[in-house]
Structure 1
Amino acid sequence: MRASRLLSILTTLQARGRITAPELADTCEVSVRTIYRDIDALAAAGIPVYADRGAEGGYRLLDGYRVRLNGLSPPEAEALFMAGLPGPAAALGLDAAMMAAQNKLMAALPANLRENAGRMQERFHLDAPNWFGEAEEPVHLRAIAGALLRERMIKIRYQSWRAEKQRRVAPLGLVLKAGSWYLAGYVDKSVRTYRVARILDCSVLDQPFARPADFDLVAYWQAATLRLEAELHPNTVTVRLSPFGIKLLNVVTQPYVKARMRIEETVDAAGWRIAVLPIGKTVWHAATELLRFGAEAEVLEPVELREKMAEIAQAMAARYHDTKLYDGVGPEADPNAILPSSTLSRSCGS
């Protein structure tokens, strides 16, 4: 166990350059006192580990010191090949480089690890978009990625929800979510998010920028996602749900809503229960979200939303009242009948 930890400390020092004892303790899941003993053991074994004092201090290896570490375990080798899934790399223009790196890694692996590593490529595939969606292929993605790596400013023309805008942006990070790429960029003394597919024009400038030392892309994205979800669901609705409506909650509601909804344990005589859910900004948005439940939900509060649901239901009932438009489709037809595939094909435009 200790040998593995010493190897982990050594690889971390080699990869990070400088790291503090508390950071090493968190990484290795041990106490800081244990890290002190492990550093002493590495130094006693002839590894040139040095401690720099001060606010910017920490442990580091002697400049230029490198050690060859070929002791990959089978799970570690498999994980490296899982990290080489081709879709995102190709979108960034790194597919050829990724393939070359994998070939070099495969050649360096011991024979007993090559077979399992090859299986990972054959048996796992990343399909990022949601069902019935397509992965975006933004025109300017590669240029933005290049500017991000070289820390160069970019000038973009962006189509927002309201209007076209021009911005000078310091690109700080790219995120792939559900098949769409997003740029985190520093603009007007704040970090903002841009959907890359909505960038109409992009030019990379010669002007360098200083990347904020405290910027953490993962932390920023998590906070921005929570903030957006909260902005999209600022209100709550009290609904009465049938037993089937309760089941639909797990199918049609977003994770943000699931994590914050409250369902009463009390069941009425018909088996219905009361639930309080986060809901959209406007009455119209809230109504469209709840229409997915059909007749399995009844809005109790707020009153204006209940009235909007009734208005929409009456309008839909009036629209479908003329049952002669489609033979065999309407209230007088068998409610349990399934539409023939030919009918479905025509209705879908195929």
Structure 2
Amino acid sequence: MSKADNMLSILWLLRSGKRVTAEQLADELEIHVRTVYRCIDSLCASGAPIIADSGPNGGYWLLGDFVDAPLLFDSEEQKALVHASVFAREAGYPFTDALSRAFDKLKRYTNEEQLEWINRHSSGLAVIQTPTDARELELLKRLEEATARGESLNMDYAKGPELTPSHRVLDPYGIVHWKGIWYVAGFCRLRQEIRSFRVDRIVRLAAGDTRFERPAAFSARDFLLHSLFPDSLEAETLVIVRIQGHEHALNELCKHWLFGHALIERRQPGEALFKLGEPSLRTYVPYFLLPYGKSLKILEPQILIDRMAGVSLEMFKYYEAMQIKSEDKKG
């Protein structure tokens, strides 16, 4: 075990409240007694109130207040960490090995009752996600480390499977997991602006020879949302959208990533107010609403009602033409 693990194990054994000799600690942890002395010196230097008594009945023990203090996490905190690790693994978190070691340590410093609690709650939660392949995990590790260190990266990036990769130098500012896909946002020196890139489309990463300072107020999450749909939440002209409908349909709409961010007020019964950019109402918003069919009714604005009618008519004409062709072939 590492020195930190040995120190934590010694603290855990001393929490019993009994006097324990250095030899007993060494036997229990299967380490040399000199290692015990070094760990106790480090613990005392860190502020742990370890008392040493000499003599035949001597040994090490902890002050009562410290024994009563939680050394690690209570049961609810343990459950939250277990559930968070499940989400992280399934989302393709790149540092799963370190996560596994942390989880093993959590279980190591628990009693049988706490361990049973952890196992019960870890088996009761599941997350379904598209698995992230090993190559992408390695790219994510490199991107995260370069982000933290402020190191530029040489990147070959393909915008599509049939396109030739382009070379660029990237200053990575942050990675984002959104709708099952990992993105990196950063300053592209080829385009001389901040851009976002899909990690699964990165062909190659290599260390660059420059360093950078990430803007203090930069948010990779906010940048990604704005860059993917620039006219939805931060447009110059924001419009109130009032929608009425069945309760279950409105619930689903309010969970949608765009409408969830744009929600202003949920009215009863069966009505919700949103604030969206006017350009988005003329482009992609109608296509988000189309699958809800007649379970939703747009009360305002008129431009969205008109656009929904236009999109529906376009869809009708498209499939009507397909139907006519199909009937002609049969005839």
TM bin, normalised by shorter chain, reads 0.5 to 0.7
Specify the alignment match of 1:207 in structure 2: 209
Specify the alignment match of 1:338 in structure 2: none
Residue 194 (str. 1) matches residue 197 (str. 2): yes
Tell me if the contact between 1:91 and 1:142 (Cα under 8 Å) persists in the aligned partners. no
Tell me if the contact between 1:283 and 1:308 (Cα under 8 Å) persists in the aligned partners. no
> Which aligned pairs between 1:38-57 and structure 2 lie closer than 5 A?
none
Task: Label 1:190 to 1:294 Cα distance change in 2 as closer, same or farther (>3 A).
Answer: same
> Which aligned pairs between 1:201-350 and structure 2 lie closer than 5 A?
201-205=203-207, 207=209, 209-212=211-214, 215=216, 220-228=219-227, 231-233=230-232, 234=235, 243-244=245-246, 248-252=249-253, 254-258=256-260, 260=262, 278=276, 281=280, 283=282, 285-295=284-294, 297=297, 300-301=302-303, 305=307, 308-309=310-311, 311-312=313-314, 314-315=316-317, 318-319=320-321
Using the TM superposition, give the Cα deviation of residue 220 of structure 1 relative to its aligned residue in structure 2, in angstroms.
0.6
Tell me if the contact between 1:236 and 1:276 (Cα under 8 Å) persists in the aligned partners. no
**% identical aligned pairs:** 14
Determine which structure has the larger helix proportion and give its number.
2
Residue 179 (str. 1) matches residue 159 (str. 2): no
Task: Label 1:304 to 1:170 Cα distance change in 2 as closer, same or farther (>3 A).
Answer: same
Over the aligned positions, Cα root-mean-square deviation in angstroms equals 4.8
Tell me if the contact between 1:147 and 1:153 (Cα under 8 Å) persists in the aligned partners. no
Tell me if the contact between 1:239 and 1:300 (Cα under 8 Å) persists in the aligned partners. no
Q: Secondary structure at the match of 1:139?
A: helix
Tell me if the contact between 2:153 and 2:206 (Cα under 8 Å) persists in the aligned partners. yes
Specify the alignment match of 2:133 in structure 1: 137
Distance in 2, Cα, partners of 1:263 & 1:104 = 45
Matched letter for residue 137 of structure 1:
D
Matched letter for residue 250 of structure 1:
N
Using the TM superposition, give the Cα deviation of residue 77 of structure 1 relative to its aligned residue in structure 2, in angstroms.
3.0
Task: Label 1:97 to 1:280 Cα distance change in 2 as closer, same or farther (>3 A).
Answer: same
Using the TM superposition, give the Cα deviation of residue 168 of structure 1 relative to its aligned residue in structure 2, in angstroms.
1.1
- How many residue pairs get aligned? The number is 249
Distance in 2, Cα, partners of 1:264 & 1:93 = 38
* TM-score under structure 1 length normalisation: 0.52
Q: Deviations over 1:148-192 (max 9, x none)?
A: 326343211223489954321233433323321122334347654
Tell me if the contact between 1:184 and 1:193 (Cα under 8 Å) persists in the aligned partners. yes
* TM-score under structure 2 length normalisation: 0.55
> Which aligned pairs between 1:141-152 and structure 2 lie closer than 5 A?
141-146=137-142, 148-149=144-145, 151=149, 152=151
Distance in 2, Cα, partners of 1:140 & 1:165 = 18
Distance in 2, Cα, partners of 1:123 & 1:263 = 34
Matched letter for residue 256 of structure 1:
L
Using the TM superposition, give the Cα deviation of residue 135 of structure 1 relative to its aligned residue in structure 2, in angstroms.
4.2
Task: Label 1:304 to 1:207 Cα distance change in 2 as closer, same or farther (>3 A).
Answer: same
Q: Which moved more, 1:303-312 or 1:149-158?
A: 303-312
Using the TM superposition, give the Cα deviation of residue 97 of structure 1 relative to its aligned residue in structure 2, in angstroms.
3.8
Specify the alignment match of 2:127 in structure 1: 126
Using the TM superposition, give the Cα deviation of residue 204 of structure 1 relative to its aligned residue in structure 2, in angstroms.
1.9
Using the TM superposition, give the Cα deviation of residue 123 of structure 1 relative to its aligned residue in structure 2, in angstroms.
1.9
